[in-house]
Structure 1
């Protein structure tokens, strides 16, 4: 449980200190921001054990954390353009059979260019800046596979397809140099020619915490 002193300190910070710091953020037009995001994609890992003709088969999957970096530039107070490079899905699968072990690792990385529209607020000095965004670009899927039995066989391949994302979120202006926000996006892409990991496409929603450093 929080003590009364801690509660009073938190209320004081929210009511006085936080708005005072945010008031120093100033206008955003012609300014830029470096972004770091971390979150999750709506796809869960699994583990299963089954039997096949060769004997016992154990399949262990894990994955679907996301993260990335980006650059955002305000061309006007309520409009910005951005470029982002992220990891949408990481999947590792290990198959253990009597005849050997097969390991597969896949990574899907979108490279997106787009725009954000910051919804005008009644108070121009508001510390909360909600926005809508849309972007398009390429989705790069990479897969590495190794089979260890009598010999070791390794293969790798990379596929690229087009796609985009739409969504929105909000930024909190913590100070003139620091922002913190949340975003919710939906990714849509054309299918890969062959599955990368367990899927031909990685359409779906993602949710991220976004940390930013302002400059300019």
Structure 2
């Protein structure tokens, strides 16, 4: 019997610092993928999980001209780069032998995309961001994964500290 499950679950937090009304620096910590699997036969039972964490720093730029201070809708183009850390755990039972192991690997990744923020006053915002994540393959697979490339959509809630 075999079973696999994969969920591209994105969760995390980010910090955005506006350098100007149309330019901001960003820093984020995102959980970008989770998968698990199980394999059971007459001689072996195995289970494992894999996950990845991305830590990009980047910029957001609003391409619209004019006075941004009065715009409630603020579109942006976003780019970021930073480490991607992959973590895998596995357990095996074969006969009387039991073994377990963990793997941690790191590589470099980046993202490019855009989004829009809706400002409700000067201290609260709601936003949506869509990016494509691209990374250098891990030197060895993390679980069954060589990389976690792919699209990402995120919803955000922001409080502007003045």
2:46 counterpart (102, 109, 124): 102
Give structure 2 stretches of 5+ with no counterpart.
none
The structural deviation recorded for 1:175 is 3.1
Q: 5+ unaligned residues in a row in structure 1: which ranges?
A: 1-56
User: Residues 127 and 174 of structure 1 are in contact (CA less than 8 Å); yes or no, is this contact kept in structure 2?
Assistant: yes
Residue of structure 2 in register with 1:118 after alignment: 62
Q: CA RMSD in A?
A: 1.5
Q: Does 1:144 align with 2:89?
A: yes
Match of 1:201 in 2: 147
Once residues 34 and 154 of structure 2 are traced to their aligned partners in structure 1, the CA distance between those partners, rounded to angstroms, is 16
TM-score, scaled relative to structure 2: 0.92
More helix by share: 1
Instruction: State how many pairs are aligned.
Output: 160
CA deviations over 1:47-105 (Å, ceiling 9, x no partner): xxxxxxxxxx3222232111110110001111000110101101111112222421111
* Counterpart residue number, 1:130: 75
Question: Would the aligned equivalents of 2:129 and 2:153 in 1 still touch at CA under 8 Å?
Answer: yes
Q: Does 1:180 align with 2:126?
A: yes
Larger gyration radius, structure 1 or structure 2: 1
Q: Which residue of 2 aligns with 1:10?
A: none
Q: In 1, are the aligned partners of 2:103 and 2:142 still within 8 Å (CA)?
A: no
Distance 2:65 2:56 in 1: 27
Partner of 1:168: 114
Q: Does the 8 A contact of 2:59 with 2:80 survive in 1? A: yes
Shift of 1:121: 5.2
Larger relative contact order (Cα-Cα within 8 Å, sequence gap ≥ 6): 1
**1:37 paired residue number:** none
Distance in 1 between the 2:44 and 2:87 partners? 23
* Superposed CA offset, 1:140-177 (max 9, x none): 00101111342321100100001111000000112332
Q: Any conservation in 2 of the 1:61–1:94 contact (CA below 8 Å)?
A: no
TM-score, with length taken from structure 1: 0.70
